[in-house]
Amino acid sequence: MRCIINIIVLLLLFSACHFAQEITLPSNPLDGRIVFEEKGCIYCHSVSGYGGTVGPDLGRNQYYGSFLQLASIIWNHIPEMDRKYREKKIPRPNFTQDEMLNLIGFLYYLRYLGEPGSVANGKKLLDSKGCLNCHNISGKGGIVGPDFNKMQQFASPLYIVQAMWNHGPAMQEEIKKYNLKYPTLIGQDIVDISAYIQQATQGNTEIRMSPGNPVKGKQVFQNKNCQKCHSVSGENRKLGPSLSEINLKMSVTEIAGIMWNHSPDMIEYMKKQSLKWPQFQGNEMADLIAYLYFLGFEDEPGNLIEGESVFIDKGCASCHEEGGKGIGPDLRKMKRFGNPIKLTQLMWNHAPQMEDLLLAQNEEWPQLTAKQMQNLYKYLKSVNQKK
Ligand code: HEC
Ligand code: HEC
Ligand code: HEC
Ligand code: HEC
């Protein structure tokens, strides 16, 4: 009987843990750029062309992963980075918990910022997507929609997306009326179109939208009724898909494209539910998309049993022995692993001692895959809670 109760308690614990928010969202993910420079990552890495060339340019279109996936990349790097610090006679920096969060938030964000657009391709797209059936640019095109040359305010792709979205239902009526195909926008389409419109307009007002604040975006998500039809965790199915389950690990304008492509369906669903088509002002669209992008920041929960194996196989257990008999403290007793940021920070800060000890024993640096990192965290967090 007791055993059954224990199992039930355990199950409850696991299901409750599953969606607990352990990581606070950064309100300006670009803050981490400062950490990236100050902590010397910039000696070896560039971000979109600026910085060192020993390691790869991190600004290219690549998604590096969730929080602990990124933590594992940094961990595996430590010996090589430490060599660089010594070589350059730079003191090895420590991270505070906030700095660690900002650094990893910044790396997570790189994919989101995307690449600059191509004017030539944008010109082709306006034609091939049928925009010129209704809009005019440089004397070519229709007169149903506003003349792109007369736009005073086009600057960023995000601004265009927001304007398109706000006019979405009206545009759709016209599209139906003229029996045209609804233009879908994928990949770099929006960035290219906006690059072309931008250089073709006579307007010189620069309306720049900041790349977005995920914390504010969470608010926008609620205020604009998105949560009426979408959940953001795997649970409780609503009318629309759960947004944490679809792949949004792409640039801001690609995500905007996905929303745009679904807007005809969404317009219909919203009509049925008597919801007003949401209008976005100021930086709201950018904030909303930043929030959607950050839905993948937090890791899927790891596996406890496998985490224990990692702890043993990677040699942690041999220094961090039970009862504090080893060289290092007994990690099972420390009650310090309430969130993954803390674990990552402590592991970074303790790495030099560990490196010295391993060198003395002629042992290799234990590499950790993302999965192993997630499992290790799960294990340490769980044993900490039990004590
Ligand atoms: C001593 C030079 C050096 C320093 C300093 C350094 N890195 Fe690296 N980094 C590399 C090299 C080289 C690679 C290529 C992969 C490898 O062989 O480890 C890399 C790979 C990476 C990758 C994966 C890139 C990819 O496309 O596969 C990330 C992310 C990364 N580093 C982040 C960081 C961060 C964050 C810092 C600062 C805390 C940092 N690096 C500091 C040299 C460095
Ligand atoms: C069937 C006609 C039609 C097509 C095709 C069309 N639009 Fe529009 N568009 C309109 C109309 C009409 C409006 C103004 C709606 C309103 O007044 O609310 C508009 C508004 C806009 C706006 C907002 C302008 C402003 O005043 O802020 C943008 C941006 C825009 N369209 C971009 C595009 C792009 C890019 C394409 C192609 C991918 C496209 N449109 C295709 C008819 C169309
Ligand atoms: C009235 C219900 C409703 C509301 C309100 C709503 N959506 Fe949707 N949304 C849907 C439905 C239904 C789909 C799936 C449509 C389809 O299959 O094409 C969808 C699809 C999406 C998708 C694409 C998912 C995929 O599979 O690629 C995104 C992203 C999205 N919505 C975001 C939002 C955001 C952000 C808001 C708030 C501004 C919002 N939705 C408001 C019903 C809604
Ligand atoms: C060669 C011995 C050794 C190995 C192997 C080792 N550690 Fe450590 N670790 C230490 C020592 C010694 C300390 C305490 C010194 C210090 O504060 O830096 C420590 C401290 C720590 C701390 C900080 C504890 C605190 O509260 O400050 C963490 C977290 C940690 N280790 C995690 C790990 C993990 C995870 C592994 C396996 C991937 C590991 N260690 C492998 C020797 C080791």
Residue 285: pLDDT over 70: yes
The finding on whether 183 has its CB within 6 A of some atom of ligand 2 is yes
Integer CA distances (angstroms), 96 to 169, 312, 342, 367, 378, in order: 48, 28, 9, 23, 22
**36 and 126 belong to one structural domain:** no
| Structure confidence by residue, pLDDT tens digits, 296-336 | 899 989 999 999 999 999 999 999 998 878 888 888 887 78
What does 314-380 look like in DSSP terms, one character per residue? TTHHHHS-GGG-SSS--GGG----SSHHHHHHHHHHHHHHHHHHHHHTT-------HHHHHHHHHHH
Picking from 299, 323, 355, the residue at the C-terminal end of a domain is 299
Query: Domain check: are 40 and 134 in the same one?
Result: no
CB of 273 shorter than 6 A to ligand 3: yes
Q: Are 205 and 312 part of one and the same domain?
A: no
Both 60 and 125 in a single domain?
no
Within a domain: 143 = yes
Looking at the structure, tell me whether residues 217 and 319 fall in a common domain.
Answer: no
What total of structural domains would you count in the chain?
2
Give the model's pLDDT for residue 155: 58
Residues 347 and 378 both lie in one domain: yes
Asked if 277 and 172 sit in the same domain, the reply is yes
Domain, as residue range, for 142: 116-299
Same domain, 210 and 334: no
Task: Please tell me whether residues 291 and 224 are part of one structural domain.
Answer: yes
- Which of 299, 324, 349 is where one domain is finished? 299
Q: Which atom of ligand 3 is nearest to the CA of 292?
A: 35
Is any ligand 3 atom within 6 A of the Cβ of residue 278?
A: yes
Q: Ligand 3 centroid vs 16 CA: distance in angstroms?
A: 27
How far away, in angstroms, is 42 Cα from ligand 1 center?
A: 9
Rg (Cα) of the chain, in Å, rounded? 25
List, for residues 101-151, the tens digit of each pLDDT value: 999 999 999 888 888 888 999 999 999 999 999 999 988 899 898 888 877
